[in-house]
Amino acid sequence: EVQLVESGGGLVKPGGSLRLSCAASGFSFSDYSMNWVRQAPGKGLEWVSSIHRNSNYIYHVDSVKGRFTISRDNAKNSLFLQMNSLRAEDTAVYYCARDRGGGTTFDYWGQGTLVTVSS
C-alpha cells in the first residue's frame, strides 16, 4: 500500500524557516517524480514544487522561487521542502504527492502538514 506521511509543519514567525519531510513507503520511491502541493485555509489547491526521480529536474512556482527548495533522498525514501523567508501567505496545509507520469498526475497524496506563519 502506497503511503506518504508528511511532518515538520508548525507555527513560525514571518521571515523564519521550516523544513518539511515526507516519508514514502509501499512503492519504489526512486522510480517516481514527487511534488509538494499546498492549500491555504479555506482555499483551493496550489502546486508548489516538483522534483524528478533522480533530482535532475526541479521546478518551483514563481511565488516561492528563491525561498523554497525541494530535495529528496532516494536511499531513505524521503522528500523534503526547505522553506526560508516565510511569509503570512505561505500559511497552508502542505501535501506531498506522488507523480505518476513525469510531472503530470498526482496519483497519491499524504495527509498534509499545516504550516502557520504568524507573529
Partner 1 sequence: DIQMTQSPSSLSASVGDRVTITCQASQDISDYLNWYQQKPGKAPKLLIYDASNLETGVPSRFSGGGSGTDFTFTISSLQPEDIATYYCQQYANLPRTFGQGTRLEIK
Q: Is 95 in the site for partner 1 (CB under 8 A)?
A: yes
Minimum distance, C-beta of residue 13 to partner 1, in the bound complex (Å): 27
Selected binder of partner 1 within 21, 47, 52, 84 (CB under 8 A): 47
Query: How far apart are alpha carbons 24 and 89 in whole angstroms?
Result: 28
Which set of grid coordinates corresponds to residue 35?
511534488
**Contact status, residue 81 vs residue 93, Cβ threshold 8 Å:** no
Minimum distance, C-beta of residue 76 to partner 1, in the bound complex (Å): 22
Q: Is 110 in the site for partner 1 (CB under 8 A)?
A: yes
**Pick 8 or 103: Cβ nearer partner 1:** 103
Q: Is 111 in the site for partner 1 (CB under 8 A)?
A: yes
Query: How far apart are alpha carbons 6 and 91 in whole angstroms?
Result: 16
Sketch the per residue contact string, 54 through 93, with partner 1: x for CB under 8 A, - otherwise. -----x-xx-------------------------------
Query: How many alpha carbons lie under 13 Å from residue 86 in its C-beta half-sphere?
Result: 23
Stretch that binds partner 1, among 18-26, 44-52, 67-75, 77-85 (CB under 8 A): 44-52
What is the β-pairing status of strands 92-99 and 68-73? unpaired
Which set of grid coordinates corresponds to residue 116?
502557520
